[in-house]
Amino acid sequence: MQFAVVGPLRDSLACHCSQCRKSSGHYWSATRCLRADLHLVQDDGLAWYRSSDHAQRGFCRHCGSSLFWQLDDNEHVSIGTGTLDTPTGLKTLGHIFVKDKSDYVEIASGSPQWQVDRE
């Protein structure tokens, strides 16, 4: 599985919702781009899982890596920030769905936090 992004990426958001925590084992940090800017260079391992009635998650069926998340009928696709080659040039904008964060997570003082998705 290999992909390339040809357009701009949004800075990363750390999502603490229970679905992201359960599927990744921790909070999930994601950037995003326009769906049209995401190019699958080699997609032989890409699979999509319908994770809710309004979104799906893309993963590699060979190694199990979480790669993408996309809302239905949305022009953007979220990309796991950790899947990008470094240096990414990105920073963490803040934390979303913090009301769902696990009890072991302490978010640094001063980091922007939203109880629900900020977008």
100 and 17 Cβ atoms separated by less than 8 Å: yes
Sign of CA dihedral 12, 14, 19, 25: positive
pLDDT in tens, the chain (119 residues): 999 999 999 999 999 999 999 999 999 999 999 999 999 999 899 999 999 999 999 999 999 999 999 999 999 999 999 999 999 999 999 999 999 999 999 998 888 999 876 55
DSSP string for residues in 11-43: PEEEE--HHHHHHHSS-EEEEEEEGGGEEEEE-
Task: Answer yes or no: pTM beyond 0.75.
Answer: yes
The domain 2-100 having CATH identifier 3.90.550.10: the answer here is no
User: Domain coordinates of the chain in residue numbers?
Assistant: 2-100
